[in-house]
Amino acid sequence: MIKIAIDAMGGDFAPDEIVKGVEIARDRYPELEFQLFGTADKVRPLIQNDDRITLIPTTEEIEMGEEPVKAMKNKQDSSLVRAAQAVKEGSADALFSAGNTGAILSSAIFIVGRIKGVDRPALASAIPSFGGPNDSFVFMDLGANAENKPSHLYQYGILGSFYAQSVMGIKDPRVRLLNNGGEEDKGDETHKEAHQLMKQATAFNFLGNVESREILEGTADVVVADGFSGNAALKAMEGTALTMMDQLKDSIKLTGFRGILGALLLKPALRSLKHKMDFNEQGGAVVLGVKAPVVKTHGSAKANAVANTMGQIEKMVQEDLVGKTTAFIKENADSLKAKKIEK
């Protein structure tokens, strides 16, 4: 049995949609067991059937707007901190939350803990890929770090490759560095140095730089970015996709009856486009580089997205992503240290 510690109170529709999603997942994945950390009064009445679901009462909640590190330190009996502690103590195998991203990251790094040898855990997400051999690619760091050194970016190549292989089933993943030009001398000092480190990598298959314009075209299975520009690029893509759907709707309305008829006929095509461009449909964002799977879904996730994410977590545990990554980093500790000294 795989045990998942669930922060039942985090997210815009918590605890309702979280509990609903957990029940869907329980019925769908027979190998999973769920520990619901949350305010007893609020969570207990929502549970329809407590088969493989245990409620662990907590008294505090971390809100969306709270300062992450402070919240984590001050709210020791919050659903998130208690769930992270369960993972740390080994009574659960993985952590799930739809709450405050910063607090999830802090709990992952400071409570669950970094894998020895990993300097900076990163936030990674599977993003749809259009045109390449695979349906999606791993994009990281999406904002766990505001500033990165070249050696961090090098390590992301390792972490991302293991994720693409183990969880997404991609053989020999093609790794690229997000940079503002294709040539190896492009970018600021950090990206130039990172490119040189990654070029010499034997731990993963580095194919050079990628510009954010080509990022969705399927030329990479792992796109490594510093946290600041990875976050900027991801949000720019999300914002553009939303704006375009809105603009399309407005343009259709302005075309009158003809537009409405056209839109009716195109409904399946438009729905499929909307579905493809919704980056959150692909599952949760994962904190890579910590001692257990820590996965967050979007704050606005509904029950189905929550349930899908449980499947993703099951896969991470079954494939022993963390164990494999840890063993590899331990074996290669010397060469990783050398990379740091070099730069």
Report the residue number, 264 or 338, with the smaller CB distance to a copy of itself. Answer: 264
Q: Would you give the distance in Å from CA 222 to the centre of its chain?
A: 13
Are the CB atoms for 312 and 295 separated by under 8 Å? yes
Site string for a copy of itself, 173-212 (x = CB under 8 A): -----x-x-----xxxx-x-------------------xx
Report the residue number, 146 or 338, with the smaller CB distance to a copy of itself. Answer: 146
Query: Is 342 among the residues that bind a copy of itself (CB under 8 A)?
Result: no
Could you say which of 87, 252, 295, 301 contacts a copy of itself (CB under 8 A)? 252
Are the CB atoms for 122 and 97 separated by under 8 Å? no
- Sequence length of the chain is 343
Q: Which residues are CB-contacts of 103 (< 8 A; sequence separation ≥ 6)?
A: 62, 66, 68, 71, 72, 80
Q: Minimum distance from CB of 120 to a copy of itself (Å)?
A: 13
Q: Minimum distance from CB of 271 to a copy of itself (Å)?
A: 9
Query: Is 161 among the residues that bind a copy of itself (CB under 8 A)?
Result: no
> Which string of DSSP letters, residue by residue, matches 92-122?
-SEEEE-S-HHHHHHIIIIIIIBPTT-SS-E
What amino acid occupies position 24?
A: I
Candidates 23-31, 156-164, 259-267, 291-299 — which segment interacts with a copy of itself by CB under 8 A? 259-267
Report the residue number, 43 or 234, with the smaller CB distance to a copy of itself. Answer: 234
Query: Is 24 among the residues that bind a copy of itself (CB under 8 A)?
Result: no
CA–CA distances in Å: residue 76 to residues 25, 67, 69, 73, 251: 28, 14, 12, 6, 51
Q: List the 222-224 sheet strands across, edge first.
A: 53-57, 32-38, 2-7, 94-97, 294-296, 285-288, 122-128, 136-140, 222-224, 174-178, 205-210
Report the residue number, 276 or 340, with the smaller CB distance to a copy of itself. Answer: 276
Q: Minimum distance from CB of 256 to a copy of itself (Å)?
A: 10
Query: Is 40 among the residues that bind a copy of itself (CB under 8 A)?
Result: no
Give the footprint of a copy of itself on residues 111-140 (CB under 8 A). 130
Instruction: Encode 299-342 in three state secondary structure.
Output: CCCCHHHHHHHHHHHHHHHHCCHHHHHHHHHHHCHHHHHHHHHH
- Per-residue tokens: 302: 């509904």
Q: Would you give the distance in Å from CA 74 to the centre of its chain?
A: 26
Q: Minimum distance from CB of 27 to a copy of itself (Å)?
A: 32
Are the CB atoms for 179 and 191 separated by under 8 Å? yes
Candidates 10-18, 78-86, 231-239, 317-325 — which segment interacts with a copy of itself by CB under 8 A? 231-239
Candidates 9-17, 26-34, 40-48, 272-280 — which segment interacts with a copy of itself by CB under 8 A? 272-280
What amino acid occupies position 306?
A: V
Q: Minimum distance from CB of 7 to a copy of itself (Å)?
A: 21
Could you say which of 48, 200, 255, 300 contacts a copy of itself (CB under 8 A)? 255
DSSP character for 134? S
Candidates 28-36, 240-248, 305-313, 330-338 — which segment interacts with a copy of itself by CB under 8 A? 240-248
Q: Which residues bind a copy of itself (CB under 8 A)?
A: 130, 143, 146-147, 178, 180, 186-189, 191, 211-217, 225, 227-229, 231-244, 246-248, 251-252, 254-255, 258-259, 261-266, 268-270, 272-273, 276-277
